[in-house]
Amino acid sequence: MLFSAREPGPSPPLSAIRRSKIAGCRRFGPPPLSRTSMKRAFPLFLAGVTGLSACSDLSPVATGLGAGAPVSLNASEAPVEIVPGQIIVRFRPGAARSEIAQQHRAHKKSDMLLERTEILEVPVGEEAAIAAQLSKNPNVEFAETDEIMRVGPCETSVSCDLPNGDLALWKWDLHNTGTMDMALQGWGTVTTGKVDADIDWAETYDHLGPDFAGSAVIAILDTGIRTTHPAFAGKIVGGRRFLSDTVTVGTGNYTDDQGHGSHVAGIAASRGDVRIPGVAYGTNIKLLIGKVCNSAGSCPNSATANAIVWAANNGANVINMSLGAFGGNPDGTGSAAQQAAMQYALSKEVLPVCATGNDDNKPNGYTGGIGYPARFPECMAVGATSWSDTKASYSNYGAQIEISAPGGDGNSKGTAASFILAPLHSSNSYTWKTGTSMATPQVAGLAALLYATGMTRAADVRARMIQTADDLEAPGWDNRTGAGRINVYRAVTGKDPNAAPVAAPGSGYAGNKGVAVQFDGSASNDPNGKPVTFAWNFGDPASGAANSSTLATPAHTYLRAGSYMVTLTVTDAAGIASTTTTTAVIANIAPNVSAISGATLLLGERYTAAGSFADADPDTWTATVNYGDGTGTQGLALNGKSFSLSHGYAAAGTHTVLVTVADDDGGAGTSSASVTVMTPQQGIHATLIAAVGASGMNSGTVTALSAPLQAASESLDRGNRTAATEQMQAFINQVEAQVRSRQMTAAMGADFSARANRVIASINR
Ligand SMILES: [Ca+2]
Ligand SMILES: [Ca+2]
Ligand SMILES: [Ca+2]
Ligand SMILES: [Ca+2]
């Protein structure tokens, strides 16, 4: 059983496209078949198997079919294509190989690269029977016919005459923007299914850069490669032909004589600086070419098994097998040699990736599933998606599917635009093809990038691709698309390609009014490494235009105290925004009123004092004063940050003067002073105490000074203010006499005289 890549839709107009087909491969000759007609044409597909000889260099013979006979197949009749006259046998250690072979009318043709494994020559027509007999020999691990798998021979494709210029924009599989300008191809502006139904390769290229130098090797086991195509310049590190014609053609001839291999290799690893880059574009990601399929796209299992071992032994990290046979029917079991070879590859941390096949599970009328070798657990089974991110109509599905990648599908316009564009084998141009064959090398390319960026274990690479795929169709793994469509960017970077930026406005902002607060949003970032733009809102609408800024580290000055919610929105290059808030706490400085002078007064004397306060804020202030004598709190005029106190007390006593200055932000400060107001009698008494207590005076002087004061006090007691005034004047005279006689210093005399005059004024107020 076979599978081949198919054309899912009508072909582009002939005026626009040169249709290529392989001469002699009449099965798939034009006119191309629509999807529907293709399904109906399966008998034709199979009937044509005998036609393989016309374009095969292996001359395989199809069994189970008569040449040209009408074909009606059911599962039990499913044909198996084998290489005639040989079988593959793996002996157990220590087996007497040639003896066992002879017992079964077989003899060794050649060793295979897989240890203890040989190709035995057997009579033509008896391959299956002899293999079955050998399988029962206890010294034989397995024996099988050398079945032929297929790439997609005679795949309908269109070639394009590419002008100079970057045509990567025709690679919707790498970067699907929703439209492609294909005027050069005569197709106008093409709508490409679903925006972002791609593998996010463009983002990866941007991330790794055009000079990405990581190393890895991808083995392409296929129909060979166009070694001279500019897409492969410097990329091919080796190749080998594994076909039975190597004696005549030479093992070193791995030139692509079919087209499939060049296309597949180009999808995986075309250089990055050509018109149409491959997934693993880096110049140090190399290609190892195993030509295991002939010009008809026929690929014997013996060749593939040898090539797998060879690739694993020659530095490959990934082995791409866009080939297979439909083994999902009751007849098919897959090749034990191929499976053993893949086990060997995995033991060397080499990851095989395989196409699931293009039959939509219904090859030739029976329901199958994933083809071999994809069906083996050793190989990562890759299905195909369309440019709408759905399972491609042809893509085989089932329990073994692991992952998907764009393989293309038909489109309503019937152009090849929805196929995958990659190098042509017959010229340095490019062509479109579609199939799981095209999906698989995208996975191989991604695997190579993962090896090239530091992963070393095949299981890790495989798991990474599964974990980072974009889930499609039914949530989680599903049997149509596996884990979903690969996402190269997420796999390589571990980040979402459209990750939202992180807004980091900082925290702990505090300050005072009128003083600029310095904000720092420079820790903001985009996980994708893209620049971000800033938009601050300081939560201070009263500041007008100054309330916003586009700087990374702006400053803002608040004029009012409070707790402000500050908002930082950062936007990445993709227009994705994130917002985070922080707080700025702005304090109010309370007015600080400086000390006020108190006073000791006599009734009738006026209290005056100057005062001031400090407040660094940009506030306005109001002040009050209470002179403490029951006259209440009254407004106090401010002159800037100064004020003047003035009050006349009507009653004697000790009064507390209280000044309060309030700002307009709830802050207030106070200062107080004590004002003592004495009656004249108290003033006389205080003068007397001062005289008695004055130092340096003899008792005669004290007596001389005390006498008039006591007399004045007694006169006041009697209410005789005139006498009291005269007696206070007598006190002054006595003071002056004492000064003249030097019983008292002039300064002391002046002080006593002043006291006496204030008392006189108070008596006569
Ligand atoms: Ca994308
Ligand atoms: Ca899914
Ligand atoms: Ca981003
Ligand atoms: Ca203040």
Cα of 485 to ligand 2 centre, how many Å? 9
Tokens standing for residue 337: 């040699």
Mention every residue, 6+ apart, whose C-beta is less than 8 A from residue 460. none
Query: Which candidate, 270, 170, 177, places its Cα nearest to that of 220?
Result: 270
Query: Which candidate, 251, 339, 239, places its Cα nearest to that of 289?
Result: 239
- Tell me if 209 sits within 8 A of 273, measured CB to CB: no
In DSSP terms, 336 is beta-bridged to: none
Residue 363: the pLDDT is 61
Peptide bond into 31 cis (omega under 30): yes
Query: Which candidate, 420, 335, 334, 419, places its Cα nearest to that of 369?
Result: 334
Looking at the chain, how many residues does it have? 765
Residue 700: the pLDDT is 87
Residue 80: the pLDDT is 66
Cα of 458 to ligand 1 centre, how many Å? 26
Q: Catalytic site residue 207?
A: no
CA 591/CA 617 separation, integer angstroms: 9
**What residue spans of 232-325 are helical by DSSP H?**
246-249, 260-269, 301-313
Provide the angle, in degrees to the nearest 10, between the axes of the packed helices 699-717 and 746-763.
10
With residue 551 as reference, give the H or E element that holds it. none
DSSP code of residue 499: P
CA 560/CA 34 separation, integer angstroms: 75
CA 726/CA 712 separation, integer angstroms: 8
CA 325/CA 307 separation, integer angstroms: 17
Q: Catalytic site residue 260?
A: yes
Instruction: Give backbone dihedrals phi and psi of 621, rounded to 5 degrees, phi first.
Output: -130, 155
Residue 365: the pLDDT is 60
Give the chain's residues under pLDDT 70.
Answer: 1-80, 152-166, 326-332, 363-367
Sign of CA dihedral 257, 259, 260, 263: positive
Q: Catalytic site residue 437?
A: yes
Tokens standing for residue 476: 């989680």
Task: Write down the catalytic residue from 157, 262, 335, 437.
Answer: 437
Cα of 618 to ligand 4 centre, how many Å? 7
- Tell me if 674 sits within 8 A of 629, measured CB to CB: no
CA 673/CA 658 separation, integer angstroms: 7
Cα of 550 to ligand 2 centre, how many Å? 42
* Protein residues with C-beta less than 5 angstroms from the ion ligand 4: 588-589, 615, 617, 619, 663, 667
Cα of 197 to ligand 3 centre, how many Å? 18
Cα of 488 to ligand 1 centre, how many Å? 10
Residue 355: the pLDDT is 95
Tokens standing for residue 465: 């691709």
Mention every residue, 6+ apart, whose C-beta is less than 8 A from residue 141. 90, 91, 92, 116, 336
CA 344/CA 642 separation, integer angstroms: 95
Residue 734's alpha-carbon distances to 482, 620, 684, 716, 731, in angstroms, are 123, 56, 15, 20, 5
Q: Check residue 693 and give left, alpha or beta (phi > 0: left; psi -120 to 50: alpha).
A: alpha
Ligand nearest to the CA of 529: 3
CA 230/CA 249 separation, integer angstroms: 25
- What Rg do the C-alpha atoms of the chain give, in angstroms? 51
Instruction: Give backbone dihedrals phi and psi of 363, rounded to 5 degrees, phi first.
Output: -70, 125
Tokens standing for residue 466: 């599964």
Residue 50: the pLDDT is 20
Tokens standing for residue 181: 């300008």
Give the count of beta carbons closer than 10 Å to the beta carbon of residue 580: 17
For residue 574, which amino acid is it? A
Ligand nearest to the CA of 573: 3
Task: Write down the catalytic residue from 175, 207, 229, 260.
Answer: 260
With residue 132 as reference, give the H or E element that holds it. helix 127-135
Query: Which candidate, 91, 89, 142, places its Cα nearest to that of 119?
Result: 89
CA 677/CA 673 separation, integer angstroms: 13
Provide the angle, in degrees to the nearest 10, between the axes of the packed helices 260-269 and 436-452.
40
Cα of 471 to ligand 1 centre, how many Å? 14
Tokens standing for residue 495: 């980040």
CA–centroid distance for 700 within its chain: 104
Task: Write down the catalytic residue from 200, 222, 619, 665.
Answer: 222
Ligand nearest to the CA of 574: 3
- Tell me if 151 sits within 8 A of 437, measured CB to CB: yes
Cα of 483 to ligand 2 centre, how many Å? 6
Percentage helix, strand, coil, to 5, in the chain?
Answer: 30, 25, 45
